[in-house]
Structure 1
Amino acid sequence: MADRDRTPPDGVIDTHVHMNPFWRLNDDARSTLQSHSANFEEKRALAKNPDEFVAYLDSQGVAMAAIINYVTASMGYTHDTNEWAAEFRDSHPDRIMAFGGFDPRLTDDPEGVVERAVDDLQLDGIKIHPPHQGLNANDYRDDPDTRGLDGLRILYERCESAGVPVMVHTGTSIFPSARSRYADPMPLDDVAVDFPDLPLIMAHGGRPMYTDEAWFLLFRHDNVYLDISSFPPQNLLDYFPDIEQVSGRVLFGSDWPGPMVPDIGDNVEAVKQLDLPDDVVDSILRGTAEELYNL
Structure 2
Amino acid sequence: MTVTALPDSVVAIDVHTHVLASVSEAAGEEATAHAKAMADYFKTDMVRPTVHDLAATYRKLDMMCVAFTVDTSWATGEPPTVSNDELVDLAAEHPDVIIPFGTVDPHGGRRAAREVRRLAERGVHGFKFHPSSQAFYPDDRDVYPIYEAIEETETIALFHSGHTGAGAGRPGGGGIRLKYANPMHVDDVAVDFPELRVILAHPSFPWQDEALSVALHKPHVHIDLSGWSPKYFPPTLVQYARTLLKHKVLFGTDYPVLTPERWISDFERHGFDEETTRLLMRDNAARLLRLT
TM-score bracket for this pair, using the shorter chain length: 0.7 to 0.9
Distance apart, 1:66 and its partner CA: 0.8
1:97 aligns with 2:102: no
Following superposition of structure 1 onto structure 2, how do residues 250-261 of structure 1 map, counting pairs within 5 Å?
250-258=249-257, 261=258
> What CA distance in whole angstroms lies between the structure 1 residues aligned with 2:5 and 2:262?
29
Distance apart, 1:7 and its partner CA: 3.1
Partner of residue 138, structure 1: 139
> What CA distance in whole angstroms lies between the structure 2 residues aligned with 1:72 and 1:116?
20
> What CA distance in whole angstroms lies between the structure 2 residues aligned with 1:108 and 1:189?
22
Partner of residue 158, structure 1: 149
Following superposition of structure 1 onto structure 2, how do residues 267-286 of structure 1 map, counting pairs within 5 Å?
267-286=263-282
Distance 1:277 1:187, change over 3 A: same
Contact 2:21 2:82 in 1 (8 A): no
Partner of residue 65, structure 1: 65
**Structure 1: which amino acid aligns with 2:253?**
S
Partner of residue 145, structure 1: none
Partner of residue 146, structure 1: none
Distance apart, 1:33 and its partner CA: 3.5
Alignment deviations for residues 20-52 of structure 1 (CA, whole Å, 9 cap, x no partner): 336434143133134346343xx32x41x61x4
> What CA distance in whole angstroms lies between the structure 2 residues aligned with 1:108 and 1:154?
6
Following superposition of structure 1 onto structure 2, how do residues 26-175 of structure 1 map, counting pairs within 5 Å?
26=30, 27-36=32-41, 38-40=44-46, 43-44=47-48, 46-47=49-50, 50=52, 52-59=53-60, 61-73=61-73, 74=75, 76-78=78-80, 81-106=83-108, 109-119=111-121, 121-140=122-141, 149=142, 152-174=143-165, 175=167
Partner SS for 1:205? coil
Gap runs ≥5 in structure 2: 168-173
Distance apart, 1:110 and its partner CA: 2.7
Distance apart, 1:166 and its partner CA: 0.5
> What CA distance in whole angstroms lies between the structure 2 residues aligned with 1:194 and 1:181?
21
**Structure 1: which amino acid aligns with 2:105?**
D
Q: Alignment partner for residue 284 of structure 2, among 288, 291, 294?
A: 288
User: What number of residue pairs does the alignment pair up?
Assistant: 274
> What CA distance in whole angstroms lies between the structure 1 residues aligned with 2:106 and 2:56?
36
> What CA distance in whole angstroms lies between the structure 2 residues aligned with 1:237 and 1:9?
32
Alignment deviations for residues 77-96 of structure 1 (CA, whole Å, 9 cap, x no partner): 44962112212211101111
Q: Alignment partner for residue 213 of structure 1, among 204, 210, 214?
A: 210
**Structure 1: which amino acid aligns with 2:83?**
T
Partner SS for 1:17? strand
Distance 1:186 1:115, change over 3 A: same
**Structure 2: which amino acid aligns with 1:249?**
K
Partner SS for 1:242? helix
Instruction: Normalising by structure 2, report the TM-score.
Output: 0.85
Alignment deviations for residues 94-135 of structure 1 (CA, whole Å, 9 cap, x no partner): 11111111113257723322222222x221110111101111
Partner of residue 197, structure 1: 195
**Structure 2: which amino acid aligns with 1:255?**
D
Distance 1:105 1:242, change over 3 A: closer
Distance apart, 1:72 and its partner CA: 0.6
> What CA distance in whole angstroms lies between the structure 1 residues aligned with 2:38 and 2:200?
22
Instruction: Normalising by structure 1, report the TM-score.
Output: 0.84
1:3 aligns with 2:27: no
Partner SS for 2:7? coil
**Structure 2: which amino acid aligns with 1:138?**
D
Distance 1:234 1:70, change over 3 A: same
Alignment deviations for residues 180-220 of structure 1 (CA, whole Å, 9 cap, x no partner): 111211011101111111110001132x2010100110111
Distance apart, 1:62 and its partner CA: 4.2
> What CA distance in whole angstroms lies between the structure 2 residues aligned with 1:108 and 1:293?
25
Contact 2:160 2:201 in 1 (8 A): yes
Gap runs ≥5 in structure 1: 141-148
Partner SS for 1:248? coil
Partner of residue 183, structure 1: 181
